[in-house]
Structure 1
């Protein structure tokens, strides 16, 4: 192995690590606010890449119809819940319409735009809108009624949501894989390395999104409200911060990160309906490195995971996944020995 190969492997590892960093941050975010270990985070990645691929063919993605169905179900639940609490028909109807509004608008735009085959950037924006709209609905249908349940129950629900989303992905997209066109085809030579425009976009978007998340949580009132919910759910409720709204907002952000990750990774690899699980699991390893609590540690852990995967694929390509996922064992052992233990109340 010479220095040029090392450089190529490091570039590849850092590119993949940037994607894993986004997914790791999303996993930490969801767990911190809702206590949900969100295993289906990778499904948002697959849905993002494959929804754009279907838009490229001029057809309406099946995710649009799933979004409408989930929105109707969530709207019915909100109407029922509001009616039981207030016995006010107008308020109940308004609650249902608010839940239905954004998914209905995104679905209508997608149905209208799909056969017209707009430019790639427009289709990408539509994809982000559709997949992001799934986030609050997934929380409303699967987690909101169990918000006070134990972490183990929430983990079991996450496993069920993962299998449901994977099965629906097979139904909507089929077993064949898709590879999206690059957003920037330019190539730049840097000594022995060749940088593609897509690689620069991945790095730039990842850094920008991480920076925006930091600004959001540090310098906005709503971001501080989410942080308060993460620190003390009961205290946040007493201060008038709705844990349900916080949960739906957090899942919307996780879906947004997943959708963007899918758009970024789609041109670099062939994405199948079940590809999101392995991608999301590597983000989860990064989140575990951060203790499911530290955003900087999760980002650094993601870069480490990307580098280990890159060099592992060079030395033992058949075992690269095993090498990556084995990392979690010494990390968990170290955290178990160095951290305190407390029973969950």
Structure 2
């Protein structure tokens, strides 16, 4: 391995690590606020890339029916809640807004020539179509069991992942998607050519990481959201809605996942089941951060990307094994250095 190959592998590692860092931050963000380990985070990535690929290839946008179905289901739950409270809900128009949104997304997806739209407009529609899946899934799946033990939430999260993988197969088929790059230009630094898409990935990832850090570590609003996970009753008494906190976190997680899918779609081919492996590498980074530290999670994810890139050169057949083996020493170190608090018996 010469210096040029090392630099090229480092570029690939940083590009992949930037995506893993975003997913690691999303996992930490959701876990610290809702106590939910969001296993389906990778499905947002896969759905984002596959939806963009379906739009660009002119294929039917069947995933729009998922959004429509979730909107109808959650609207029915909202109406049932209105009837139980005899109209006491503050937002009686909310179910109608959901149905109007579902109708608009279906009409745009099936009636308009999306393949002829500019690429940024296609990306915008993909975000508008898929990002609301986050709070819709929270409302339908997790909100009724928000007070359940973390183990129950984990089991439900795994079940939701399995369901979404099946939905992905039905909506997109077994073929992969490789989308068009947002820019064909590159940057020449001596003998090194920096791919423009890699620069997009790194720039957007750094911007999102900085924004999330400022939100949760420096803003009063972010700290209030984190307080909702520590004491749901206390947060409610202080005027912080745990329901709103959960839906907000799922909205941000879906946005990060779909945007990550749009960014890596031109870099690699994404399949309906690719999301799990991608999010699992982000999970390794989140574990390095102890599922609580945003900077450590981002740094750990970047380390995962670099190790994966160099492992692919030295031992490509074992690169996945090498990456996931990283979890073992990290867990051992945290087990030996952190205190243990026994749970109170109920």
In structure 2, the residue matched to 1:28 is 28
In structure 2, the residue matched to 1:71 is 71
Displacement of 1:115 after TM fit?
4.5
User: Residue 188 of structure 2 aligns to a residue in which SS?
Assistant: strand
In structure 2, the residue matched to 1:338 is 337
In structure 2, the residue matched to 1:250 is 249
Work out the CA distance in 2 between the residues paired with 1:292 and 1:332: 12
> Structure 2 length as normaliser, TM-score?
0.94
In structure 1, the residue matched to 2:197 is 198
Displacement of 1:44 after TM fit?
0.2
Displacement of 1:163 after TM fit?
0.5
In structure 2, the residue matched to 1:82 is 82
Render the CA deviation track for 1:122-144: whole Å, top value 9, x for unaligned.
Answer: 00011111110100011111111
- Asked if the contact 2:57–2:115 (Cα under 8 Å) also holds between the matched residues in 1, the reply is no
In structure 2, the residue matched to 1:266 is 265
Is the aligned partner of 1:58 residue 2:41? no
Work out the CA distance in 1 between the residues paired with 2:133 and 2:10: 34
Moved more, 113-122 or 40-49: 113-122
User: Residue 188 of structure 1 aligns to a residue in which SS?
Assistant: strand
In structure 2, the residue matched to 1:323 is 322
In structure 2, the residue matched to 1:232 is 231
Work out the CA distance in 2 between the residues paired with 1:269 and 1:319: 19
Work out the CA distance in 1 between the residues paired with 2:210 and 2:142: 29
In structure 1, the residue matched to 2:45 is 45
Which aligned pairs between 1:136-285 and structure 2 lie closer than 5 A?
A: 136-218=135-217, 220-285=219-284
- Asked if the contact 1:59–1:114 (Cα under 8 Å) also holds between the matched residues in 2, the reply is no
User: Residue 131 of structure 2 aligns to a residue in which SS?
Assistant: helix
Work out the CA distance in 1 between the residues paired with 2:195 and 2:98: 41
Displacement of 1:233 after TM fit?
2.6
Moved more, 230-239 or 48-57: 230-239
- Asked if the contact 1:30–1:251 (Cα under 8 Å) also holds between the matched residues in 2, the reply is yes
Gaps of 5+ in 1: none
Displacement of 1:224 after TM fit?
3.3
In structure 2, the residue matched to 1:118 is 117
- Asked if the contact 1:37–1:158 (Cα under 8 Å) also holds between the matched residues in 2, the reply is yes
- Asked if the contact 1:49–1:262 (Cα under 8 Å) also holds between the matched residues in 2, the reply is yes
Work out the CA distance in 2 between the residues paired with 1:25 and 1:112: 37
RMSD: 1.8
Displacement of 1:262 after TM fit?
0.1
Work out the CA distance in 1 between the residues paired with 2:241 and 2:98: 16
Which aligned pairs between 1:284-323 and structure 2 lie closer than 5 A?
A: 284-323=283-322
User: Residue 132 of structure 2 aligns to a residue in which SS?
Assistant: helix
> Structure 1 length as normaliser, TM-score?
0.94
Work out the CA distance in 2 between the residues paired with 1:92 and 1:124: 31
Cα distance change of structure 1 residues 90 and 235 upon mapping to structure 2, 3 Å threshold: closer
Q: Across the two proteins, how many residue pairs are aligned to each other?
A: 344
- Asked if the contact 1:49–1:266 (Cα under 8 Å) also holds between the matched residues in 2, the reply is yes
User: Residue 187 of structure 2 aligns to a residue in which SS?
Assistant: strand
- Asked if the contact 2:130–2:254 (Cα under 8 Å) also holds between the matched residues in 1, the reply is yes
Work out the CA distance in 2 between the residues paired with 1:290 and 1:91: 39
Render the CA deviation track for 1:25-79: whole Å, top value 9, x for unaligned.
Answer: 0000010111001111000000000001111123442111110001100111111
Cα distance change of structure 1 residues 218 and 15 upon mapping to structure 2, 3 Å threshold: same
Work out the CA distance in 2 between the residues paired with 1:163 and 1:129: 24
Cα distance change of structure 1 residues 115 and 300 upon mapping to structure 2, 3 Å threshold: closer
- Asked if the contact 1:166–1:274 (Cα under 8 Å) also holds between the matched residues in 2, the reply is yes
Work out the CA distance in 2 between the residues paired with 1:79 and 1:220: 35
Work out the CA distance in 2 between the residues paired with 1:143 and 1:201: 34
